[in-house]
Amino acid sequence: MVSIPKPRLPTREEIRKYWVNDGPKALIIILFVAANIALFLYKFIEYRYERSLVFDILGYGVPVARGSAMMLKFNSAMILIPVLRNFLSFLRGTFLNNYVPFDKNIIFHRYIAWVICLATFVHVMAHFRNFHVQSTTDLADLKLIGIQEVPTTWGLAFRTLAGWTGHVLCVAMVLMFTSAIESIRRPMFEIFWFTHHLFIVYFGLLAVHGLRGTLETSTTWMWIIGPCVLYILERIIRLARSKQTTMLIMAKQHPSRTIELRMKTERFKYKPGQYLFLNCPTIARNEWHPFTITSAPEEDFVSCHINVVGNWTGKLSTLLNPDKRLGVVQENLLNSPDGKPILRIDGPFGAASEEVFKYKTVMLIGAGIGVTPFASILKHIKFQLSKAYSTTGNTIEKVHFFWICRDRSSFEWFSGIIGALEMDNVNNFLEIHPYLTGALSAQEVRDVMYAGGDEEARDQITGFSAPTQFGRPKWTEIFADFSQRYAGRDVGVFFCGPKVLSKDLYKHCRKFTQTTSCRYHYNKENF
Ligand SMILES: Cc1cc2nc3c(=O)[nH]c(=O)nc-3n(C[C@H](O)[C@H](O)[C@H](O)COP(=O)(O)OP(=O)(O)OC[C@H]3O[C@@H](n4cnc5c(N)ncnc54)[C@H](O)[C@@H]3O)c2cc1C
Ligand code: HEM
């Protein structure tokens, strides 16, 4: 006979392990859902039971429309918070960072948006029912609830402030939502970006939508004014920063379609792992693209490494390197040939990789250009090492750096920094694990086979003393090994690269946190 285990409460250790990767997000979602249910019920109950005269005359349409409107006010106030980049970067520096998963901001923004979508649907359906009921109710009954004439359905839908603004709001939302779904946003980012600015229409119309309400005075503006003011401040800060002069001190073309930019701008203070937005007015006046900062705060310039993948990055590469040369292609440039500033910078902004310094043991996993956040972090550690690392407050004891590249040339731009770190490897703090996932060309195979002399001690692909492994990392074996080495410890896992690999790593972190005494804290960045 199969025995069914008795249900039991989770132990403190089980809760602790669950909390490691899923706790903060789950808690916020529970609070968010509870707040929505509570707000809906609060208004629903008021119009169903306390103002029952309205209910007796117009039926369920009113309490449902009021309940969903309450949700819309709350969620419209909330939706701006996760996109206040400067505000969130500030909050990351406070105690809240221990409880709030700030790097999941866009996920929350999307969740809130979909709740808005659901509440809008319910609200619109309930109002269409109301319009029908109102247009077929006796005037004497309508007068009891303050309505002075029997309206038509058409009149209610299009000739009232709430009616026409509601319809325009729906059209704006359909455009915003359809252009924001991943299959449109990824390949047509600009279309998404410009359509998304219909949020200005959204907030403008939302503020006035209920102003001529017959049943109660509209309070929507009170809900949204705070976040809107914060958002306007955010845009003012971005604008002010973008006006600062930026000098392109060097542009260097690397072999792997990567262009390195070294810039100097006024008052630009950042932490390792942060990112910035770049704008090139010659290419597009209003287009800002995010790039991770690859220099360390100790350096006297700000650098980014840009993979040429599409329209904007392609145009930037052509502007800076029209002859497609390798090496340094521009120096000390302030303006483009058309006289406009060559580059404008907005930032810095906080990212998941900033959290690296919270852990003693970390796994940094960079795939392809996803290695950029770790460039700044590793360089920063190198600078700290050279000035008595242990006294600076940084506590990292062990860094496992997994670097996964498809071709040999992709190792080129960053290998100098890693090589230098390897030489300076105090207490063996850095272990490098290079992986080459693509095949070598015939020439590369010859180079590797016939290289000799002193070079033999070093890996022929990367130049590191750690040998390059061919193929993809075997994560199950790696995690099993680390779980023994770091038993009982908290290990920060930081990944930047493609989504599929991110999902795989996340699964491994969860599984090995649940099944071993090692606690893996997963953090990711997706470009
Ligand atoms: C936080 C962050 C840090 C990044 N760091 C780096 C880096 O260090 N090096 C690097 O090479 N790339 C980085 N990227 C990716 C880089 O922003 C895009 O490759 C670049 O914007 C592509 O623009 P495009 O017009 O040439 O390509 P497109 O063909 O238009 O787009 C290629 C991809 O980039 C995305 N994308 C396009 N425009 C934007 C934009 N304005 N904002 C966000 N995503 C966009 C698209 O969704 C698409 O997936 C980062 C992205 C993010 C979000
Ligand atoms: C009523 C609905 C929505 C409103 C009012 C809204 C509002 C905003 C605002 C104000 C921004 C910030 C723009 C900036 O500062 O540069 C933004 C960004 C963004 N929104 Fe929305 N949005 C809505 C719906 C959605 C939906 C449905 C999705 C996706 C499914 C989405 C995905 C995004 C993304 C990916 C960003 C970019 C964030 C970043 O990179 O900083 N939004 N949105």
- Structural domain of 332: 244-349
Q: Is residue 317 part of a domain?
A: yes
308 and 428: one domain? no
* CA-nearest residue, atom 4 of ligand 2: 199
Q: Which residues of 239-270 are buried (b: 16+ CB within 10 A; e: fewer)?
A: eebbeeebbbbbbbbbebbbbbbbbbbeebeb
Does the beta carbon of 199 lie inside 6 Å of ligand 2? yes
Q: Where are the alpha helices (DSSP H) in 46-138?
A: 52-58, 61-78, 85-92, 105-135
Whether 41 has a pLDDT exceeding 80, the answer reads: yes
At residue 290, the 3 state secondary structure works out as strand
104 and 221: one domain? yes
Residue 2 pLDDT:
57
Whether 526 has a pLDDT exceeding 80, the answer reads: no
Q: Is residue 9 part of a domain?
A: no
The position carrying tokens 């090994």 is 481
CA nearest neighbour of 65 among 5, 105, 125: 125
Q: Which two tokens stand for residue 287?
A: 């287009």
Q: How far is the CA of 181 from the centre of ligand 2 (A)?
A: 11
Contact assessment for residue 471 and residue 438, using Cβ atoms and an 8 Å cutoff: no
265 and 294: one domain? yes
Q: How far is the CA of 199 from the centre of ligand 2 (A)?
A: 8
Q: Is residue 5 part of a domain?
A: no
Question: Given pLDDT bands bounded at 50, 70 and 90, which one contains residue 379?
Answer: confident
Q: How many Cα atoms within 13 Å fall on the side-chain side of residue 171?
A: 7
366 and 294: one domain? no
Residue 84 pLDDT:
96
How do beta strands 302-307 and 258-265 pair? antiparallel
Q: Is residue 469 part of a domain?
A: yes
Q: What is the pLDDT of residues 330-360, one digit of tens each?
A: 999 999 999 999 999 998 998 888 888 889 9
DSSP assigned state of 309: -
Residue 444 pLDDT:
57
43 and 129: one domain? yes
92 and 153: one domain? yes
Give the largest Cα separation in the chain, rounded.
Answer: 102
280 and 357: one domain? no
Q: Is residue 343 part of a domain?
A: yes
d(CA 462, CA 120): 55
Residue 267 pLDDT:
83
Q: Is residue 132 part of a domain?
A: yes
Q: Is residue 8 part of a domain?
A: no
Q: Is the peptide bond before 348 cis (omega within 30 degrees of 0)?
A: yes
pTM for this structure? 0.85
DSSP assigned state of 437: -
419 and 280: one domain? no
Residue 66 pLDDT:
95
Count of CB atoms situated within 10 Å of the CB of 308: 17
Does the beta carbon of 290 lie inside 6 Å of ligand 1? yes
Does the beta carbon of 173 lie inside 6 Å of ligand 2? yes
157 and 290: one domain? no
Q: Which residues of 474-492 are buried (b: 16+ CB within 10 A; e: fewer)?
A: ebeebbeebbeebeebbbb
Pick the atom of ligand 2 nearest to 85's CA.
Answer: 41
Question: Given pLDDT bands bounded at 50, 70 and 90, which one contains residue 391?
Answer: very low
Q: Which of 192, 225, 240 is the last residue of a domain?
A: 240
At residue 487, the 3 state secondary structure works out as coil
Residue 6 pLDDT:
75
Residue 209 pLDDT:
95
Residue 235 pLDDT:
94
Ligand 1 mutation pick, 188, 291, 311, max ligand atoms within 8 A of CB: 291
Q: Which of 205, 223, 240 is the last residue of a domain?
A: 240
Does the beta carbon of 527 lie inside 6 Å of ligand 1? yes
Q: Is residue 215 part of a domain?
A: yes
Does the beta carbon of 109 lie inside 6 Å of ligand 2? yes
Cβ neighbours of residue 335 under 8 Å, at least 6 residues apart?
341, 342
How do beta strands 519-525 and 490-496 pair? parallel
d(CA 494, CA 431): 15
Ligand 1 mutation pick, 309, 377, 502, max ligand atoms within 8 A of CB: 309
Q: What is the pLDDT of residues 470-506, one digit of tens each?
A: 889 999 999 999 999 999 999 999 999 888 899 999 9
Ligand closest to CA 496:
1
Whether 179 has a pLDDT exceeding 50, the answer reads: yes
Q: Per the structure, how many domains does the chain have?
A: 3
301 and 226: one domain? no
Does the beta carbon of 186 lie inside 6 Å of ligand 1? yes
CA nearest neighbour of 207 among 226, 234, 225: 225
CATH of residue 315: 2.40.30.10
Count of CB atoms situated within 10 Å of the CB of 184: 14
DSSP assigned state of 341: B
335 and 419: one domain? no
Q: Which of 225, 240, 255 is the last residue of a domain?
A: 240
Does the beta carbon of 311 lie inside 6 Å of ligand 1? yes
Q: How far is the CA of 392 from the centre of ligand 2 (A)?
A: 39
Q: Which two tokens stand for residue 447?
A: 């180079």
CATH of residue 365: 3.40.50.80
Q: How far is the CA of 527 from the centre of ligand 1 (A)?
A: 6
Pick the atom of ligand 1 nearest to 372's CA.
Answer: 8
335 and 374: one domain? no
Ligand 2 mutation pick, 110, 112, 196, max ligand atoms within 8 A of CB: 196
What rounded mean pLDDT belongs to the chain?
88
Residue 3 pLDDT:
66
Contact assessment for residue 414 and residue 371, using Cβ atoms and an 8 Å cutoff: yes
Whether 408 has a pLDDT exceeding 80, the answer reads: no
Residue 525 pLDDT:
83
Range of lowest pLDDT (35-44, 168-177, 370-379, 435-444):
435-444
Q: Which two tokens stand for residue 76?
A: 């419209």
**Distance, first Cα to last Cα, the chain:** 52
